[in-house]
Structures are given as C-alpha cells and as structure tokens.
Structure 1
Amino acid sequence: MTSLPPSRKTAVRALAALAIAVSSLTQVAAAASPEGKTTVSVRLPDEPLLVQINQVALERRGPKLAVVEYTGDAERGRYTVLRDGKAIKQGELEPLPAFDAWGAGRRYYRVDFSDAEQAGRYQVDVRIGKRRALSAPVPVRDDAVFATAGAQLLGYFKRSRHTDAADRDLPIFKTARRVDAWGGWQDAGGDKGKYLSHLGYANYFNPQQASMAAWVLAYGADTRKALFAAHGLQTQVEDEAFWGADYLHRILDEEGYFYTTVFDQWGTPGAQRMVTGYEGAAGTYTTLYRSAFRAGGGMAIAALARASMLAKRSGRHGEFDGAQYLADAERAYAHLRKFNPQYCADGKENIIDDYTALMALVELRNATGQARYLDDARERAASLIARQQADGGFVSDGGRRPYYHAAEAGLPVISLSAYADIEPEPARRQRALDAIGSALTHELAITHAVANPYGYARQRFQLTRDGKAEGEVLEGFFIPHRNETGYWWQGESARLASLSAAMIVGGRKLAGADAAGYGLPADRAAYAQDQLDWTLGRNPYGMSMLYGFGRNNPPTVLESAGEMFVGGISNGITGAVGSDTGAGIAFAPGPDSEQWRWVEQWIPHTTWMLFAVMAMSGDQAR
C-alpha cells in the first residue's frame, strides 16, 4: 500500500485505539511507549484449542471448511456441525500433515461440511480430550459474501471519495503547468494521495489501484446488472463507476497519457501536493508521472472503454458522457502504443505491461468492434504466453525473474480469460485456454507442495542484491521483505482475492466442471474459497480483515494506518518482521509507525474482494 513508510509519519498524532473489541481468541496488548503513546500489538493466540472459520459468509453450494489448531499430545477428537444451534453432522477430526512454519507445537485438523447446503447460521463445535472450542458463527446462503457485505464493499468507495477542491488546480512536478485532478478516491486509510499505481521505480511491483477500481465497478455494473439489481445496488454501482471514469478523464493529459500519482508525501507537513512520481521510503518526487500500461494506464483505458458501454446500455453517465469516455480510451491507447516504453522506469516493457495492455485491448474491442484492437490483443496475448514456463508459472522479464505480485497475482489469468472471450479463431483461443490451465495447475501445485493447513497461496520469488533480483529462485507463503522496492512489503489481501477470482474466472473457461461449487472441480473450488476465507477470518489470528464484519477486526492505529471504513479491508498478515524471505508469520506487532503494513485499509483489497465475490455469486456460480 502507499501509506506511511518507516521514515515518515502522518500529521495525525492521536492515540491508537481498538475499534472493535477483540475476543479472548486473539490477544491484543496495549502498552505505554517511551513517548507516552499507546502501542497496539496483536499476537498469535495461545489457547490450546482453536476453531478458525470464515466469519463473514459461506456459499450454500460451495466449499465450507474449518481449521482446528490444537496444542497438546496427539489425541483423537470429534466435531459437531451446528445449524441454527442444532447438530446436523458429527464425526472424527481429520488430521492434517505436521506443520511448524508459523510456530512449533501445534497440531492441525480439518472439518469439511461442504455437503451442508441448507441456508442457516452455522458453527463448528470441537472436542479433543477434555478441551472444547466453538467456532465463530457464519451465515450460509446464496450469493453469500455479496449479499452479506456487498452494499458496504461498494460503500467503501464512496466513503473513500476525494473531494478537496484544491485538487482542481495542482502543479505538475518540475513544470510550470497546473491541471485539474479533482475527484477519484483516496488510496488508503492514512493516505489521501491518489494513485493509478505506485512503485514504478522498482519496475515489477506496480499495482493497479484507482484504475482497477474504476474498471471493476464499471465491469460489474455493466455485466452483472442482474446481481446488483437483485440486491438493490445497481444505481449505487453505476454512480461509483462513473465517478471513477470522470476522474480518469480529468487526469488524461492533452498529450494522451494519464497522471500516475497525486502525492503529498503521505500528508507530511510542508510537502506540496502535486502531480508527480515518487520513489523509496522517503517519497522522493520524480518526473515518472506519466503512466505506462503497467503504471495504471492499461487498466484506465479498460475502465473508460467499459464505462462507455455502461453509459450506452444504462442511459446514464457521470459529469462526462459515454462518447467522451470512449474517445479518451482510444486516444490514450494510441498514445501508449507509441510511447509506453519511454514511461517505464527501465525503458523496457515487462509482464505487467502485457496483461494490463491486454485488458485495455479486450475492452476497446468490446466497445468498438474494431479489428485493429483484436490484432493488437493477439500480439499482447502471445507476448504474455511466451513468458510462461513449462510448469505454468510466469517470469516477469525476458530472463528468469519469477513473476510474483502482492496485489494482483491473478491478473495474468484474468486477462487471458478476457482475451479468450473475444478470440474467434479456435487455435488462438485454445492456446490461451492452455495457458490458463497450465497457470492454474501451477497455482495448485506450488500451494500444496508443502504442508499448508490453511491452503494459503504460495509464490516463487528471488531476493535482491544491490536493487536487483538475483540468485536462487525460492518459494514461500508471503512476499519477501528484501525486494526491489527497498522498503515495501505488507499483507496480501488483494493478492489472495485476485487469485481466488482467477481460479473461478479462468477455471470456468476449462473443461471438467462438477458440482463442487462455482462451476469448478473440487480442487479449484477449494483453492478459490481458501484465499477468501483467510481474509474473512479463517487464519491463525482468527481475524476478519473486512472491517465491520466477523467476530474480530484489526485494531485502529491512527498514527500510521489512519481511518477505518466499514467495508474496507486491511492489508493483512505477513511473514515475520526481520525475515528477508518473508518466512514465519506476523500481524500488527508494532511499533505503531509500522502498523500500516498490516492494519491499514487499501483500495485494491476491497476492489479485488468485490470482483471475486461477484464471480462467486449469481447464476454464474451455480
């Protein structure tokens, strides 16, 4: 996320406070720091028996799993599944392979109640020896997370709108120009900056931020109208989609490029707010403010093209109309097609340019029907597929650096899936489907290559030396802390939701669907569910990162993580502090100036969660 790095503090100097009382399952310590401020620390629970479960909602026809953690001698245990307080299923606990990567001394068991397809309020009651534990309650229903939290997920974007009139007249770094960059969304709880992307100086870390949000909202409003309308949310999602499209119009320069960042060094006193690039923990201003495809430009084009289709079909629009949105998208693509490498920090395109440009081209083809966009999409798809290794994993560059991404690891598959939908030639379409199948097989294989009681999506990576990735290709659960950015690592709620969405969207393109849920085979359905369950409470901390939902939520730490909005999602759990490889596990250990890594809400998390639960919901899921 883009908020307070280690060397910066926001202007806010309030005491940290717990927003939601944390139950005995999660220990939260508050102690006076030397400066007299309150420090919040969240530790792994030390209860001998725990039952961790999705605390928000589970699909009636989908995977339903609880993970049991037990400290003690090996004993046989039993479980009872309760629906509305009544026992509906009992059995012996299923032991899982030994696992000590997040601490020794725990045994793990699984309770699978996927066959319980009647709506209701469920809990899992577990007994091992003389110990007993009861899970948090979870509603089971159709359109589960969407119906339960969809209105607040959408509401998060409106609550995050940036409406300061000062943005109507902002300078551009190292120029005499001033521009109107009003609107859009603040990036995070403690950061009122606005970003199509950041971390461009590191080349392989660009996340799709405001432009991805604008596309997901426009795509959802246009293609999933029945779902949003069934829950009374169609007008709301259209309003937010057009809000995003209007902002993209304003930040499209007359030359044809988008402004990457509106930035004020995370609210640092005395820092001037402007259109600029920046780099590093110091937030040093740079002239890298023209968005390459990978720096939000590709998804901005996709969002505007989709918003033009939404305007045409709905008869509505924002401040600007659908014809303007489409003209913007076409002009921006024509510009980036010519100049994109010049806007990349290293002057070279990489995998992120491929999959974001591919999304832009798919949406331009959908909006215009023009053959030239299909021709270019074929080139981008071929380039992306050429970066795939024999086992299905991708490389980021022209060499051997593995592709890994803390916010959008599922986007390569989603872009290929979108391309497959517009490709009329069977052979080309089949190549895309083969690449999708190989990528999903890789995700399953790397995730289950080691003991993994929660099914957390693992990833390949290299560590860095002198700012460049080199050496052995490693595997692990969390993003490595020693990476090309120099300082940036955080929880991965967005990455997990993106991979869940990729497994659902990509998996449906392939043969072999069955009744395991979401129109997927059992292993793919379970993987998709595992990633969302982690964010929604089925994790070792028993913490729902979706604020306002579930039994336990992250603490509020105003010093570095800022405001907490209902419907916002915190960054989440990471590897242990001090681990170059991201090994071990940590959540909000403090000090408060570092808590943004775990606690702060960030726009890509809610964006990707909304996209994933849209994919899980409605007729497409049944």
Structure 2
Amino acid sequence: MSVPLLTLLLSSLFAVAPAQAADAAAAALISVQVNQVSLEAHGPKKAIVEYLGQQSGGSYRVLRDGKESSKGNLTALPAFDEWGAGKHYFVADFSQDSEAGSYVIEAELGGEKAVSAPVIVQENALFNATASSLLAYFHSSRNTNIKDRHLRIYDSQRYADVWGGWNDAGGDEGKYLSHLSYANFFNPQQASMVTWVLAKTASASPQLYRKAGLEAKVLDEAFWGADYLHRILDPQGYFYTTVFDKWGTDNAERMVTGFEGLDGKYSKSYKSSFRAGGGMAIAALARASILAKSSGAHGEFSAETYLADARRAFEHLQVHNLEYCYDGKENIIDDYTALMAATELYHATHEQQYLAAARIRAGKLSGRLTADGWFISDKGSRPYYHGVEAGLPILSLVYYREIETDAARIARAQKTIATALDAQLRLDSKVVNPYNYARQTFRTYDKGQLSRKVYEGFFMPHDNETGYWWQGESARLSSLSTAAILGGRAAAPQAAGAFGISANLAEFAQNQVDWTLGRNPYGMSMLHGFGVRNPPDADSAGPMTKGGVSNGITGATDSSTARGIVFAPGPDENQWRWVEQWLPHSAWLLLNAVTMAR
C-alpha cells in the first residue's frame, strides 16, 4: 500500500483529529444510518438512529417503493460516548420486511425527523448487487507493465519474469503476496488471497456466477492470478514476496525485493514464507488446478502446471519455511496459511501426505486457543489480532474439517470454531456497541516491548510491531462475517435461520457488512460507486475505481489503543489510511458475498 513519506506531519494530524472527528452527517440532531447497498430478503435488517437531543423514545416507519411497509417504536440503547459525547442511539428493526424492493426508514424523535439512504432488499443480495463491479475492479487493477518481464532480483544480478498480477492499491503499482514481514505478526494475504478467492468461489459456486452472466469473467480473472503466481515461483521453489519500487518515489529501481518500514527500505526478505503469502499462493494454485479441470478452461498455463507448482512450493516450504520467517520462528499466520495450502492440495490430489500435513497444522492452531476464546499468535501469550484477515484462522479450520475423516479431529476443529465465535460475540457485547462492530483483544507494542496489559477495543491499536501501519478495517470485517457464516454452518448449523446459522451469528455477520456499506457513524459506503456517499478523492490514495473498497474508519489518531473514532481528517499525505482502495478489501467482500448467497 502507499504510505506517507512526510512522517513529521503525523504530529500535526494527531493534534487536530479530535476536533475534526465529528462528521457533517453525524452533526445533525437526528440521523438514520443503514446499509446503503443491499440487504438479504430473509436476513437481519436494522437501521441505527443517532440523536443529539434528550428525547428517550421515538418511532419509525419503513417505506418500500414509497409505500408504508411496517412501523414501530425505536428501541433505545444504553449510553455510549466513546464515539462522541451527547449522542443517543436507537435501533429500528425491519427484519420482517422481506419483499423485494427499495426501502427507506423514517425516524422521529422529539419532533425531529430524518430519513435513511435507500437500500435494496433482494435474494442473494450482496452477490447480486456487487459481484459484477468487484470483478471489474480486479480487471481494472491488472498490471501490464512490460518492464516486469525482466526485473532484477534484490542484491543480485539475477533477473526474473514477474509480469502480470494486480496493482496492490489505488496509490500503489507494486505487486505483493504480502508485506509487513519485518513485524512478524501482521502479514496480510494479498495477491495470492485474491487468486484463491476467485478460484475457490468459481469452482464452489459456478451456478451463481453463471446465473449472473459472470462465469467467463471470474474464470478469466482467476487464471490471470494463477498465471502470475506461476511466474513468481523461483526455480528453487519459493515465491517472490513483492515487486516493489518504493511506491514510485525517489526514482527507486523496480525490482523483486522485500522491504521494511515507513521509508520502504529494500531488504533480502523477498522469499515468501507460508505467512508471507506462500501458503495462500499454494492454496490458490491448487484450487486453480481444480477449477481448470472442472471448467475446461485455463490461462496461459495448464491445470497440470498449476498443480505441479503448488506441489513443488509446498514441499520446499515444508523444509525451508523457518529460513524465510523474518524472526526465524513460525507463528499463527504460518499455521493457518499452511493449513489452507495442505487442505487445497488434498482437494486437488486426495493424497494422504497432505491430509497428514493439514492435521499437524490444525492441531497447532487449535492448541493456540485460550480458555477465553482468543488465539495466541506466538509461543508466549501475545493475542492474535489482525487488521485484515482476523477470520482466516476460523475459516482454515472450516475448510480443513471438509477433508478430515477422523471423528475426534473433526470434533476438536468444530469445538475450536464454536469457542472462537462464541468468544467474539461475548467480546462485542461486553460494552455498549450500537453498531455491533467486531471488537478485538490485543497488547500494544512500544519501544521493543509488548504491554503487560491485555486490552479490548474496537479498532486496531496504533502502537503495534509495524511502527506505523494501521488503517481502516474493511477486509477484517468481511473476513469475520464470512467466518461467522461458514463457522456457524460447520459447528452449529440452523437450517431455518438466516444464512443457515443462529440468529446472533447471522446478525453479527450482517452487521459487519452493513458497516462497510454505509451503516456507520459517517453514513458512508466504502464500496465505490454504491450508496449515497463514498470516501473523497485524495492524492495519497490514488484514483478511485467502482468496485474498489476503501480502507475505512479507524480509532482516533491521538490514541495509542485506538479509542475514539475518526475518518480521513487530513492532512492529505495520510488520507490513504482511510480512503485508499486495496485488493484484499474487495477480495474478502466477494468471498463474503458468495458465502451469504450459498
């Protein structure tokens, strides 16, 4: 992702953020916030009313296509002032309104009235509304720089063909399997995750894409990603982590390299460990081989080539992964990405060696779960928290469960899934949480030390091992929504419930999507081209593209533990934290959409 180079401006940003945190939409006496894109016909549907007056009760009406559909009394929530003093929150529940149409919610409190943005209610709502634009966003993000056919590898005179792939973000033409390797616990799954999502959803739900007229497009994009992964697989068996040019600054040479920190210092850490994108690259190639065989289509390379690549890379990392881990130690991200790799290789081959490898990783992952229901990320007591893929540990166990034949191991995986999801719901409800935002458990990191205290909060703490990286969490929310649905179906299915899960999990899953699509304190849809209000343009964030998802809302800039709330207060050099569109956000939203539809 692009980063601000004028780091001194951060001090002034932190000084002005609290005064600017109040958004114009929230400054009105009364406002009605709702998902501005689409809601599932038979799923949870709630609007949040924010009110600055003193009235303790009010009413609402639901209008479908301009005519009253239902009405009721607003439900008052307990006092909550972390996101603004003097605010009162109310809920308008219109879950019973299931007929297809365009809805608005009118609220009245103390003689003041407000109307929500419109939202479409339909079957397979999120997929039908967004899938076409999400695929178009990936296509528009393709990198076709001919110079990438012959790029130098860091600290050598070797050259590689690394053509293809996708630009990582609106303000960044770099290509990443992952970044932040130097911080050890924050590696996000980037280009390989996109490829896997495309290949996985295309092979698992071809009829969904076919009905929408999108089958050819998703196949084309999935194989575009798989072809890139083939090219960045070194003859020795490791993947190149990044193709990077310091975000286009300082006349830097574009090359295959690792990098560190805010200034993008080049490093030798360009060999991907499992956690640095290697595991998900293996999973993506194995799944692409399955897709190629089932569809009869492929990219520049064949199903056999994709599978051979996945096999070779997995065998290599099984021996050399510790060499490529920045600190020489594996952590939770290695466990869940290696589990994804082994699981997909088993799907592609049905060979027992991959089931055996998956069992080892699943056992380690379950062993990281504490009695309180959160995962330990290291060999000590550091809580696992992640700004991008917090749901992936649960998802990896869900997918592993599909290949497991041993009843005891299945039961252990299911218990881990259920315990982790129950803990998430408890954490969310421990404080007043008007939007039902997914909270997280963490320890801060400052001057080389983890805090002794374990914190709980809404947003990713700014004092963390990266030294600079915190941003909006659109991908994280979709990952947790997806984990809630698939995890709920695996551990405690309820066929009659929304999404086939319990009411509490269904509401949690829907609420995370709602936040990204406009039901948030800023009344802003992070999905560009959808809703009544999108994030503004910003030079540091690059161009905005329909179907791209902006980073989103964060904790207040002056809080090391990310208490409070803020969106894009400026100055512009830092706007990327909130505004920039990033591949993982759209990838996770697409997986979320297919999961909800299925």
* TM bin (shorter chain): over 0.9
Relative to structure 1, the CA distance from residue 279 to residue 7 in structure 2 (aligned partners, 3 Å threshold; closer, same or farther) is farther
| Structure 1 residue aligned with 2:546 | 566
| Structure 2 residue aligned with 1:7 | 6
| Structure 1 residue aligned with 2:84 | 103
Task: Give the secondary structure class of the aligned counterpart of 1:551.
Answer: coil
Check if 1:61 corresponds to 2:60: no
Relative to structure 1, the CA distance from residue 188 to residue 156 in structure 2 (aligned partners, 3 Å threshold; closer, same or farther) is same
Distance in structure 1 (CA, Å) of the matches to 2:345 and 2:104: 47
Q: 1:596 aligns with which of 576, 580, 587?
A: 576
Distance in structure 1 (CA, Å) of the matches to 2:512 and 2:462: 21
| Structure 1 residue aligned with 2:471 | 490
Distance in structure 1 (CA, Å) of the matches to 2:159 and 2:21: 42
> Is the CA contact 1:276–1:289 (under 8 Å) kept in the aligned structure 2?
yes
- The C-alpha deviation readout for 1:444-495, integer Å capped at 9, x for no partner, is 0111110000000000111112234231110100000010000100000000
Q: 1:406 aligns with which of 387, 391, 414?
A: 387
> Is the CA contact 1:40–1:591 (under 8 Å) kept in the aligned structure 2?
no
Check if 1:244 corresponds to 2:243: no
| Structure 2 residue aligned with 1:469 | 450
> Is the CA contact 1:42–1:588 (under 8 Å) kept in the aligned structure 2?
no
Distance in structure 2 (CA, Å) of the matches to 1:428 and 1:78: 51
Check if 1:304 corresponds to 2:285: yes
> Is the CA contact 2:47–2:91 (under 8 Å) kept in the aligned structure 1?
yes
| Structure 2 residue aligned with 1:188 | 169
Relative to structure 1, the CA distance from residue 161 to residue 603 in structure 2 (aligned partners, 3 Å threshold; closer, same or farther) is same
- The C-alpha deviation readout for 1:527-580, integer Å capped at 9, x for no partner, is 0001000000000000000000001000011x2000111000000000111210
| Structure 1 residue aligned with 2:11 | none
| Structure 2 residue aligned with 1:614 | 594
| Structure 1 residue aligned with 2:557 | 577
Q: 1:424 aligns with which of 395, 405, 414?
A: 405
Q: 1:439 aligns with which of 397, 420, 423?
A: 420
Task: Give the secondary structure class of the aligned counterpart of 1:88.
Answer: strand
Give the 5 Å matches for 1:171-570. 171-513=152-494, 515-557=496-538, 559-570=539-550
| Structure 2 residue aligned with 1:13 | none
Distance in structure 1 (CA, Å) of the matches to 2:80 and 2:56: 17
Equivalent AA in structure 1 for residue 203 of structure 2: D
Distance in structure 1 (CA, Å) of the matches to 2:56 and 2:393: 44
Q: Alpha-carbon deviation of 1:229? A: 0.5
| Structure 2 residue aligned with 1:18 | none
Equivalent AA in structure 1 for residue 315 of structure 2: A
> Is the CA contact 1:41–1:590 (under 8 Å) kept in the aligned structure 2?
no
Task: Give the secondary structure class of the aligned counterpart of 1:518.
Answer: helix
Task: Give the secondary structure class of the aligned counterpart of 1:45.
Answer: helix
Distance in structure 2 (CA, Å) of the matches to 1:348 and 1:541: 41
Q: Alpha-carbon deviation of 1:41? A: 10
- The C-alpha deviation readout for 1:88-139, integer Å capped at 9, x for no partner, is 1111110011110111101000011111111111110011122000000000
> Is the CA contact 1:288–1:345 (under 8 Å) kept in the aligned structure 2?
yes
Say how many residue pairs are matched: 588
- The C-alpha deviation readout for 1:402-429, integer Å capped at 9, x for no partner, is 0000000000000000000000111111
- The C-alpha deviation readout for 1:491-538, integer Å capped at 9, x for no partner, is 000000000000001110123515341001110000000100000000
Relative to structure 1, the CA distance from residue 75 to residue 449 in structure 2 (aligned partners, 3 Å threshold; closer, same or farther) is closer
Distance in structure 2 (CA, Å) of the matches to 1:455 and 1:218: 31
Equivalent AA in structure 1 for residue 282 of structure 2: I
- The C-alpha deviation readout for 1:205-249, integer Å capped at 9, x for no partner, is 000000000000000111110111110001100000000000000
Distance in structure 2 (CA, Å) of the matches to 1:562 and 1:427: 50
- The C-alpha deviation readout for 1:174-228, integer Å capped at 9, x for no partner, is 0110100000000000000000000000000000000000000000111110111
> Is the CA contact 1:156–1:565 (under 8 Å) kept in the aligned structure 2?
yes
> Is the CA contact 2:57–2:75 (under 8 Å) kept in the aligned structure 1?
no
Equivalent AA in structure 2 for residue 444 of structure 1: L
Equivalent AA in structure 2 for residue 386 of structure 1: G
Check if 1:140 corresponds to 2:139: no
> Is the CA contact 1:251–1:258 (under 8 Å) kept in the aligned structure 2?
yes
> Is the CA contact 2:47–2:93 (under 8 Å) kept in the aligned structure 1?
yes
> Is the CA contact 2:459–2:555 (under 8 Å) kept in the aligned structure 1?
yes
| Structure 2 residue aligned with 1:17 | none
Distance in structure 2 (CA, Å) of the matches to 1:300 and 1:290: 13
Distance in structure 1 (CA, Å) of the matches to 2:70 and 2:48: 16
Q: Alpha-carbon deviation of 1:8? A: 7.6
Task: Give the secondary structure class of the aligned counterpart of 2:500.
Answer: coil
Equivalent AA in structure 1 for residue 134 of structure 2: L
TM-score scaled by length of structure 1: 0.93
> Is the CA contact 2:41–2:122 (under 8 Å) kept in the aligned structure 1?
yes
Distance in structure 2 (CA, Å) of the matches to 1:573 and 1:44: 15
- The C-alpha deviation readout for 1:375-394, integer Å capped at 9, x for no partner, is 01000000011110012210
> Is the CA contact 1:8–1:268 (under 8 Å) kept in the aligned structure 2?
no
- The C-alpha deviation readout for 1:250-272, integer Å capped at 9, x for no partner, is 00000000000000001104111
Equivalent AA in structure 2 for residue 7 of structure 1: L
> Is the CA contact 1:239–1:318 (under 8 Å) kept in the aligned structure 2?
yes
Equivalent AA in structure 2 for residue 204 of structure 1: F
Distance in structure 2 (CA, Å) of the matches to 1:505 and 1:6: 40
Gaps of 5+ in 1: 10-28, 30-38
| Structure 1 residue aligned with 2:12 | none
Distance in structure 2 (CA, Å) of the matches to 1:258 and 1:170: 15
> Is the CA contact 1:217–1:237 (under 8 Å) kept in the aligned structure 2?
yes
Cα-Cα RMSD: 1.5
> Is the CA contact 2:339–2:362 (under 8 Å) kept in the aligned structure 1?
yes
> Is the CA contact 1:573–1:586 (under 8 Å) kept in the aligned structure 2?
yes
Equivalent AA in structure 1 for residue 584 of structure 2: P
Check if 1:123 corresponds to 2:131: no
Identical pairs, percent: 57
Equivalent AA in structure 2 for residue 569 of structure 1: V
> Is the CA contact 2:232–2:240 (under 8 Å) kept in the aligned structure 1?
yes
- The C-alpha deviation readout for 1:327-378, integer Å capped at 9, x for no partner, is 0000000000000011001000000000000000000000000000000100
> Is the CA contact 1:41–1:588 (under 8 Å) kept in the aligned structure 2?
no
Equivalent AA in structure 1 for residue 321 of structure 2: N
Moved more, 464-473 or 275-284: 464-473
